[in-house]
Amino acid sequence: MPGPLSHIRVLDLSRVMAGPWSSQILADLGADVIKIERPGAGDDTRSWGPPFLPGDEGRPDQNSGYYLSVNRGKRSVAVDLADPAGQAIIRAIAQHCDIVLENFKVDTLKRYGLDYDTLGKTNPRLIYCSITGFGQTGPRRAQSAYDFIIQAMGGLMSITGAPDNEPGGAPQKVGVPIVDIMTGMYATVGVLAALERRRETGVGENIDVAMLDVQAAFLGNQAMNHLLTGKEPTRTGNRHPNIQPQNVYRCRDAFLALAVGNDGQFRELAAVIGQPELGEDERFKANAGRVRNLALLEPILAAAFSERDAGAWETALDAAGVPAGRINSVGQVLQEPQVVHRQMVRHLPHPRAGTVASVVSPLRFANAPLVFDRAPPLLGEHTEAVLRELGIRTEEAPS
């Protein structure tokens, strides 16, 4: 069965992470994603290593681990956007597409005749999504941005990391480019919503997605805490600002993450650690009391967890219905039996490496199962095939 978006074609003019993350989601869902890359260099992330595919480092079409993580399922067409002939080819491809994704600086593609107003005139059904650091309007519209800078400017680092009065206390970024990833997710939601609206109206859309907007949006409960109180949320390490106990505890052999979500779970926790009286203690029996009296509760829990191995606690807490889990390394996650059972890591055929491992989409469709059979492409691997398939001859591409 074809994927749920097998009837959709995407022109991907984006590079680095946020845009390619979105287009990879669309490719996983079955869309035909045509990735445009600079001849001789390609996407910036091709050189963002090590690591690289074995033997690739230093090649003009090298494949870094970073590039491989966000370009599965696409077809690569090598075209120079700065060349009028290349611009003509892109305009011709756009006539055959449903979606355009781009993340150039504001107004860059307008200079090339590849903006929404230009492409939409000849393809009014086109859904055009622009991803930038700060959006198409506003005082910062012309500025560049990377994930790290938006994590800082957008408040995420102010609430991530240990408090100043604890060892290592300092603002900390998240361990993956979370703003890029979330921006890609929002962009995907936006284009899918526009596709549904187009089904009703026959008209395309011009979508403006800004990384700083996305970061502000997913401050979530921390933003609402501030709006309700006027107080600035602070870094609390692994402790949750509203629900307790939620923290990381050192056991005899490893660290354990504990997430108590309600008063019933806390009573079960108290019983598991052999101190059932804590569940009836007026200071701790309700969540609000545990939040206010955390300085008294934490040493009790820390002492209890230090007496046994993390695996023993995990088993006992799971049996009692209290969420807890060992802190795994990345390698341990990918070997976790549940992750293996769900086939989250697949080996895709690759023209140079034979196969390449990939962590695939978490979406599971019963009636239109996703197929993972196309590795991230080599630079320009599909140029001739795509242009031939769309009936575009480079010397006759419309201007």
Determine the Cα–Cα distance for residues 103 and 107; give it in Å rounded to an integer: 11
Cβ pair 44, 95 in contact under 8 A: no
Q: Tell me which of 43, 180, 281, 373 is the catalytic residue.
A: 180
Cβ pair 291, 240 in contact under 8 A: no
180 counts as catalytic: yes
Residues whose CB is less than 8 angstroms from the CB of residue 245 and which lie 6 or more positions away in sequence, other chains included: 258, 260, 266, 269, 290, 294, 297, 298, 301
Nearest to 25, CA basis, from 213, 191, 151, 209: 191
Ranges of beta strands (E only) in 31-140 are: 32-37, 74-78, 99-102, 127-132
Determine the Cα–Cα distance for residues 229 and 152; give it in Å rounded to an integer: 22
Residues whose CB is less than 8 angstroms from the CB of residue 390 and which lie 6 or more positions away in sequence, other chains included: 92, 93, 96
What pairs with residue 77 in β-bridges?
36
Determine the Cα–Cα distance for residues 269 and 245; give it in Å rounded to an integer: 10
The answer to whether the Cα torsion of 29, 35, 40, 43 is positive or negative is: negative
Q: Which residues are catalytic?
A: 180
